[in-house]
Chains A and B, each alone.
Chain A
């Protein structure tokens, strides 16, 4: 029993944190959000580092690492609220690597791992990075199969989160990922586990920004962070962030090491991330007071990302229903 990142995984996390602090500052995120375009230099750099193929085998041009390493990178990209098609591309590649047919792997993995091709993930009503994507991985139902869709028509969707591009999808040719059935369901769970990992980083950043702010901001002659009402809010933010982290790491671990537990783990991670991400980032706005409600402060990017990630996860409610039926089957 060792429920923590390994030294190598911590090193990946540290390197990612440093790189993104330098390359994806709030100024860069804001620029991407306000122009509606991703930061091409950042994406090129992530491609050169081989990150999109982190969980793709070396045989198919990837790094040959696993779902936990992918989760670590996603957590850091979420922490930076980075404006790139990384989540969609890397999560789709990881799902195809783990669950796809030989043909699907050969066709998609080399291009996705190198970032020459990009993927979209989500549903027909809400697909992250759908516009211009070479392939879509669509999850229509909470316990349903992931579908690989090509040749679909996509239309930009002006979602409230401008740090990522979203689309609606119609038409196209679809086939279940892998041989369908359990493989395609596992693929969908892997994608959800990846989204949940991003939310952990989003929540962690919101918590840290809030702590820094309430220690600095003074009212009535003292830092507002010395008031218990503010302190209790921050403690709750920590609890929600750590709950999301425990379940997201569990899901990432289960994806590779205990596939028979992935279904439940992914539902746990999705439910904890969907609600936790929303409440932590909402608290961040509240704790920032008036400034938190302005466009100028950066906390709203995190709130908006958390909202859309929760929507991509399908919301917490359907995952709780799934958990209830899993628990009832076992009780």
Chain B
């Protein structure tokens, strides 16, 4: 058992810290989502120039072949430096590795570099109005037409679709397949065409991070099928299973920063001596640390056994619950100040409600824990 970084990890961290110190991300533009995204895109270009955009990718594709621990260090340091996530985060974490696993040499040649440099942004077309947690229920149809596929249907919760050149999209190519997860195909779809309409989805925060995607005769050539016709479920699992544990470290550090900020606010108001406030802050500190420690246990399990341990399925659930408690406590402590439109805490409070829904609802995560980790029987 060793909870310190080894020499390679320390060297990696120190090199990154020095680079981040010399290349600050700067202050984000305020109040303009497009300008904010442009800032993140520019940030990824600078990361790519420095060789830091995709540390977890193999060196042959422009990464550093970083270990999971180094990848975790990357995200921790990024957050600690106050820098944003790279703009093309779905491309880097999901599309790139899926194309590396299933793509032909031509597909890899075509797509990986523009993902790395943020020249081409990627979005993910998985969820549909009636296929959220139950992805295999998706209805979007793809029909063969010569050497092309014609796509019709609707996708929801597509973040970054308004900036994306490409979409990793799963559609039903064989509606007569005996089981619903059969007859699916994974497409790399060009977003810049007439059959694709992107409609921003206004969230409870008032912002539009997500979009609805309407497909009406969108066309995808054969060469943009990934992993073979009818193999979409397996390819989609690669995307879903892809290592996102690094991201947990970014979010974990961000939450710690938010907690430190809240402690500062409480101190300014002389509330640290209030036993109820102190109790809640102590609990939040405990939860932040449990999350960090459990995430490291999970990393070790993946590095040792090639798969997450039982604790791995718990971190996202814990993180969302803790972030909601934290932002609610801020509203309790700050009162109207935290409940005014435009106040950063008001945004955090509202945004946190999405945490337990996006990327797997807490209810589904509990079901997954019960069935796959604890081996409890499924109700027929």
The chain A residues found within 8 Å of chain B, CB to CB, are 1-6, 9, 68, 211, 214-215, 222-223, 225-228, 230-232, 234-236, 238-239, 242-243, 245-247, 249-250, 253-254, 257-258, 268, 271-272, 317, 319-328, 330-331
Contacts and interface: CB of A to CB of B under 8 A. Distances in A.
A214 B293 contact: no
A328 B285 CA distance: 10
A2 B286 contact: no
B27 interface: no
Contacts, number: 167
A5 B304 CA distance: 11
A228 B377 contact: no
Contacts of B377: 215, 222-223, 225-226
B281 A327 contact: yes
A3 B314 contact: no
Contacts of B299: 1, 3
A214 B1 contact: no
A159 to B, nearest CB: 26
A268 to B, nearest CB: 5
Contact of B290 (A211, A236, A238, A247): A247
B376 A215 contact: yes
Given A226-B377, A235-B369, A242-B294, A324 B4 contact: no
A229 B282 CA distance: 29
Interface in B345-380: 363, 366-367, 369-371, 373-380
Contact of A242 (B6, B264, B267, B311): B311
Contacts of B293: 3, 246-247, 249-250
A275 to B, nearest CB: 9
B311 A320 contact: no
Interface of B: 1-6, 9, 69, 259-261, 263-264, 266-267, 272, 275, 278-279, 281-283, 285-286, 289-290, 293-294, 296-297, 299-301, 304, 310-311, 314, 317-318, 363, 366-367, 369-371, 373-380
Given A215-B377, A222-B379, A272-B290, A323 B370 contact: no
Closest 10 CB pairs of A and B: A320-B282, A231-B370, A324-B282, A331-B260, A246-B293, A323-B282, A331-B263, A235-B369, A226-B379, A324-B278
B1 A215 contact: no
A239 B316 CA distance: 11
Contacts of B297: 3-4, 246, 249
A173 B380 CA distance: 66
B369 A328 contact: no
A214 B374 CA distance: 11
Contacts of A321: 275, 278-279, 282
Contacts of A242: 294, 310-311, 314
A245 B311 CA distance: 10
Nearest to B265: A331
Contacts of B300: 1-4
A328 B272 contact: yes
Given A239-B318, A324-B281, A222 B380 contact: yes
B253 to A, nearest CB: 14
Of the candidates B2, B9, B300, B304, the one having the most CB atoms from chain A within 10 angstroms of its own CB is B2
B364 to A, nearest CB: 11
Contacts of B301: 4
A29 B303 CA distance: 39
A167 to B, nearest CB: 30
B263 A327 contact: yes
Contacts of A317: 279
A249 B1 contact: yes
B310 A2 contact: no
B338 to A, nearest CB: 18
A257 B3 CA distance: 9
A174 B6 CA distance: 43
Contacts of B275: 321
Q: Which of B2, B264, B376 has the most CB of A within 10 A?
A: B376
Nearest to B377: A226
Contacts of B278: 320-321, 324-325
11 contacts: A3-B293, A3-B299, A234-B376, A238-B310, A239-B369, A243-B294, A257-B2, A321-B279, A321-B282, A324-B285, A327-B281
B208 to A, nearest CB: 33
Nearest to B314: A239
A157 B285 CA distance: 35
Contacts of A271: 282-283, 286
Contact of B3 (A1, A6, A227): A1
A253 B1 CA distance: 7
Nearest to A221: B380
